[in-house]
Amino acid sequence: MPRDFLKTSDWSREELERLLASAARFKGGEDDSKPLAGRSVALVFFNPSLRTRASMQVGIYELGGNAVVLEPGGTSWTLEHRDGVVMDSDKTEHVAEFVRVLGRYCSMIGVRTFAALKDWDAERIDPVLSAFARYSEVPVVNLESAMHHPCQALADMLTIREKLGAGRKKLLLTWAWHPKPLPMAVPNSFALAAAQMGHDLTIAHPPGYELDEDLMREINNAAFDAGATVTQTDDVDEAFDGAQVVYAKSWGSKLCYGSPEDDTEMRAEHRAGWRVDAAKMARTDAGLFMHCLPVRRNVIVTDEVLDSPASVVIDEAENRLHAQKAIMKELRNADFGLRIGGK
Ligand code: CP
Tens digits of per-residue pLDDT, 193-233?
A: 999 999 999 999 999 999 999 999 999 999 999 999 999 99
Residue 30 dihedral angles phi and psi, to the nearest 5°: -80, -20
CB 310 within 8 A of CB 280: no
Ligand 1 probe mutation, 51, 141, 148, 149, most atoms within 8 A of CB: 51
Task: Tell me the sheet residues that pair with 231.
Answer: 202
CATH top-level class for 8-148+320-341?
alpha beta
Of all protein residues, the one whose alpha carbon is nearest to atom 1 of ligand 1 is 292
Residue 142 clears pLDDT 90, i.e. is over it? yes
In the predicted model, what is the mean pLDDT of residues 112-117?
97
Residue 336 clears pLDDT 80, i.e. is over it? no
Residue 32 clears pLDDT 50, i.e. is over it? yes
What is the model's pLDDT at position 343?
A: 35
Q: Of 278, 252, 280, 279, nearest to 266 (Cα)?
A: 252
What is the model's pLDDT at position 211?
A: 98
Ligand 1 centroid vs 240 CA: distance in angstroms? 25
R_g of the chain, CA atoms, integer Å: 20
Q: Is 311 helix (H, G, I), strand (E, B) or coil?
A: strand
Rounded Cα–Cα distance for residues 215 and 236 (Å)? 22
For ligand 1, whether the C-beta of 50 sits within 6 Å is yes
Percent of the chain surpassing pLDDT 70? 99
Q: At what angle do helices 213-225 and 185-196 cross, to 10 degrees?
A: 20
Residue 43: pLDDT band (50, 70, 90) is: very high
Write the pLDDT tens digit of every residue in 282-302. Answer: 999 999 999 999 999 999 999
Write the pLDDT tens digit of every residue in 10-30. Answer: 999 999 999 999 999 999 999
For ligand 1, whether the C-beta of 292 sits within 6 Å is yes
In the predicted model, what is the mean pLDDT of residues 138-151?
98
Where exactly are the structural domains of the chain?
8-148+320-341, 152-316
- The listed CATH number (3.40.50.980, 3.40.50.1370, 3.30.470.10, 3.40.50.620) that belongs to domain 152-316: 3.40.50.1370
Write the pLDDT tens digit of every residue in 63-74. Answer: 999 999 999 999
Rounded Cα–Cα distance for residues 172 and 187 (Å)? 11
Ligand 1 centroid vs 316 CA: distance in angstroms? 11
CB 171 within 8 A of CB 243: yes
What is the model's pLDDT at position 340?
A: 67
Of all protein residues, the one whose alpha carbon is nearest to atom 6 of ligand 1 is 49
53: Cβ contacts below 8 Å, ≥ 6 apart: 43, 45, 69
Rounded Cα–Cα distance for residues 188 and 33 (Å)? 32
Residue 276 dihedral angles phi and psi, to the nearest 5°: -80, 120
Residue 341: pLDDT band (50, 70, 90) is: low
* Identical topology for domains 8-148+320-341 and 152-316: yes
Percent of the chain surpassing pLDDT 90? 96
Which ligand 1 atom sits closest to the C-alpha of 144?
A: 3
CB 176 within 8 A of CB 300: yes
Q: Kind and range of the H or E element at 8?
A: none
Residue 342 clears pLDDT 70, i.e. is over it? no
6: Cβ contacts below 8 Å, ≥ 6 apart: 126, 129, 133, 140, 142, 145, 148, 150
For ligand 1, whether the C-beta of 51 sits within 6 Å is yes
Rounded Cα–Cα distance for residues 249 and 182 (Å)? 9
